[in-house]
Chain A
Amino acid sequence: MTKVTLAKGLNMGLRKAMEADDKVLLMGEDVGTLGGVFRITDGLQKDFGEDRVIDSPLAESGIVGTAVGMAMRGYRPVVEIQFDGFVYPAYDQIVCQVAKLHFRSQGRIKMPMVIRIPFGGGIGAVEHHSESPEAQFAHTPGLKVVTCSNPVDGYWMIQQAIAHDDPVIFLEPKRQYHAEKAELDESATPVPLFSSQLVRHGSDATLLAYGPTVKTAMKAAEAAAGEGKSLEVIDLRTLSPLDMGPVFDSVRRTGRAVVVHEAHVNLGLGAELSARITEECFYSLEAPVLRVGGFDTPYPASRLEEDWLPDLDRVLDAVDRSLEF
């Protein structure tokens, strides 16, 4: 057992995946010599060589587009987009090619590609470095979208995503990269990639969170416990496909659900979750499903980000509104 950060867990997971399959390649801006601006690929070029850990020219469409060709040639490219806000030059390749090639080719072409994107805010950065674009990808058939909230999931999920035969958008909560460490048992059996996990038991309401907001939700549950409210927390982990089983089970017991994400509320994941919960758990609901998220404005300058991002107080406020409904 070792204690690792999320950054380290991902780094170890990437190394494992590269050891396990020599078709696995990494590509992106500054991923080689520098080890990535967040050091997630630290040391990998040194150990696996420049053919397998590729510093790319500064062009995201180029990165993803050439990864498509490499995947067609039998490789398993893992590309890094340096920051969430810089994925858009590659958006056309992702949405029109990566997502659709399997369908277009009647299943003859596989796209076992992982697109790693550090996402979310709270790091005091300038514009385009703090965004949450998950809904844009989850809305695109042909892509799978997952996100890890902790070091242990980072370690396992990246390996599972790489081993998966469909393209996976892999979202990494950058604020957590170098935050708390967790015990990693490399001999454990991981939970399946496309599954949601109940991470805290409770009986009064269910908090649904993923990526960076799992921590917020856990803190909120802790604080609520002090006030005699028992909150259940689910880490969704997979955003497309959604794993609604654990969510329905929980909401049928608690009768209340609050979704927490950093992304804009309008047409965010919360809207889909709310619709599905309403469709399946209507008679168990004691209150409408509530959503707490970023406001429907562009991400603000960083001195306002803690106001803009859903925090413990805003989550608890929503919980109170749900309980009082």
Chain B
Amino acid sequence: MTPHDSGFGPDLVEVFGPKHEDGGPELIQLLTPEGERVHHPEFDMDFSAEQLRGFYRDMALVRRVDVEATALQRHGELGIWAQLLGQEAAQIGAGRAIRPNDYVFPTYREHGVAWCRGVDPLHLISLFRGVDHGGWNPKDHNFNLYTIVIGAQTLHAVGYAMGMQRDGVVGTGDPERDACVLAHFGDGASSQGDVNESFIFAASYNAPVVFFCQNNQWAISEPIERQSRIPLYQRALGFGFPGVRVDGNDVLATYAVTQAALQRARDGQGPTFIEAYTYRMGAHTTTDDPTRYRLSTDVESWKLKDPIARLEVYLKRNGYAGDDFFADIAAEADAIGHTLREGTKAMPDPKPLDIFDRVYSEITPELAAQRDGFTAYLESFEGAVH
């Protein structure tokens, strides 16, 4: 029986069109992989040369942070590292579209967004080094701690947005006042119950939240086809809010689309789903071996769509940046690399006794007794290093 005989109408391909490896005609793009500026009827924008150079700088420096952290892991300084390689445009585009009052809920790979929020990369490193579970104060940056349980943060994002509604900071028309939430997650996460429930809640309360899904084509070894038979952004419609697919390797388009969606949320018009179509160029994490499940030819073809290279071409071709600019960025990257290496090695280890004080607002008597017992035990070792 073909799907046509079923009485349920046309099949998936007829409804959604054939699968496009390149993101398909619905892909919103402002800068092609070749570095050509193209225009879009809905999301076009003018960018100043300074803004363009800023995007380049962000992406280049964040890539350096990533490369450096990967190297530190290889040298045994970090337990593990989740690489962002290839996803710089998606993260910088989104990260630069957020305003200070907005609040961000990241996964564990949002190093580029963390960068835009002013989180010291050494804080990211300390988490992956095993020094802490999240060392920055989220309130200082309006950037939540990394969440490792897949999808859990999307519900937190919606709840936070519901709080904003109640605080009267949505849809007032005052740009200084209005705010919204940006919720990050991956293609794999889109299968989790929590993520689907977050869509329901967001739609039900018209919450000021933007769901920003980086479809990097992989959830560890599982391709996107395992999670969805239709383009992810089209799911949004079923939940009752708009969805768009943007070229996640195009920082200009990602910025433009995210900015528009965030404004919609701040204006009180409710949630939007953005699928940033991109590619995880590296391994899932430093412990993963992608050669076991994907073709190097795929990686090669995505290399041609590199987010940084295309902006570099565009900047050079149009005279927006000269050799000095690129040399300066390279020097700045080297300095960051140095700071990270030194900072990592100088990072103090956490103290065993500290953990007891952090479980509750105030330590309970029984936990205090446990801590005191452990203190005495540690002291019983002569010349102990603790």
Contact = CB atoms under 8 A, between A and B. Distances in A.
Nearest to A61: B193
Interface stretch (A157-165, A252-260, A292-300): A292-300
Given A124-B79, A126-B148, A295-B374, A303 B192 contact: no
Contacts of A85: 148-149
B367 interface: yes
Interface string A48-92: 000000011111011000000000000000000000011011000
A183 interface: no
Nearest to B189: A58
Interface in A16-68: 29-30, 32-35, 37, 55-59, 61-62
A127 B374 CA distance: 23
A96 interface: no
A38 B148 CA distance: 18
A265 to B, nearest CB: 8
Interface string B329-360: 00000000000000000000110100110110
B358 A297 contact: yes
Contacts of A124: 79-80, 130
B8 interface: no
Contacts of A301: 127, 130-133, 350
Q: Which of A33, A55, A127 has the most CB of B within 10 A?
A: A127
Contacts of A317: 377, 380
Interface in B200-221: 219-221
A302 B386 CA distance: 16
A313 B358 CA distance: 25
Interface string A291-325: 00001111011111101100001100100000000
B292 interface: yes
A297 B359 contact: yes
B177 to A, nearest CB: 35
B367 A297 contact: yes
B47 interface: no
Contacts, number: 113
A125 B293 CA distance: 23
B51 interface: no
A34 B352 CA distance: 37
Contacts of B367: 296-297
A302 B130 contact: yes
Contacts of B381: 313
Nearest to B192: A59
Contact of A296 (B129, B226, B370): B370
A29 B130 contact: no
Nearest to A57: B191
B220 A29 contact: yes
Contact of B221 (A33, A89, A307): A33
A307 B351 CA distance: 10
B128 interface: yes
A229 interface: no
B150 interface: yes
A33 B292 contact: yes
Interface residues of A, number: 39
Contacts of B359: 296-298
Interface in B126-153: 127-133, 148-150
Contact of B220 (A30, A266, A304): A30
B335 to A, nearest CB: 27
Q: Which of B150, B288, B359 has the most CB of A within 10 A?
A: B150
B243 interface: no
A304 B293 contact: no
B194 interface: yes
Contacts of B349: 303-304
Given A35-B292, A58-B192, A300-B350, A127 B133 contact: yes
A301 B128 CA distance: 9
A304 B192 CA distance: 31
A35 B288 CA distance: 12
B214 to A, nearest CB: 14
Q: Which of A56, A61, A301, A314 has the most CB of B within 10 A?
A: A301
B292 to A, nearest CB: 6
Contacts of B79: 124-126, 302
A128 interface: yes
B355 A304 contact: yes
B174 interface: no
Q: Which of B132, B193, B367 has the most CB of A within 10 A?
A: B193
Contacts of A33: 221-222, 292-293
B220 A125 contact: no
B191 A58 contact: yes
Contacts of A127: 133, 148
Contact of A126 (B130, B226, B350, B366): B130
Contacts of B189: 58
A263 to B, nearest CB: 14
A127 B129 CA distance: 11
14 contacts: A30-B220, A37-B287, A55-B226, A58-B219, A62-B191, A86-B149, A126-B79, A297-B356, A298-B359, A303-B350, A304-B130, A304-B352, A308-B352, A313-B381
Which 4 A-B pairs give the minimum distances between C-beta atoms? A302-B130, A34-B221, A57-B191, A58-B188
Given A301-B131, A301-B133, 20 more contacts: A29-B222, A34-B220, A34-B292, A55-B226, A56-B226, A57-B191, A58-B189, A58-B191, A58-B227, A125-B80, A126-B80, A295-B356, A296-B359, A300-B355, A301-B132, A302-B130, A303-B349, A304-B352, A307-B352, A317-B377
Interface of B: 79-80, 108, 127-133, 148-150, 188-189, 191-194, 219-222, 226-227, 287-288, 292-293, 349-350, 352, 355-356, 358-359, 366-367, 370, 374, 377, 380-381, 386
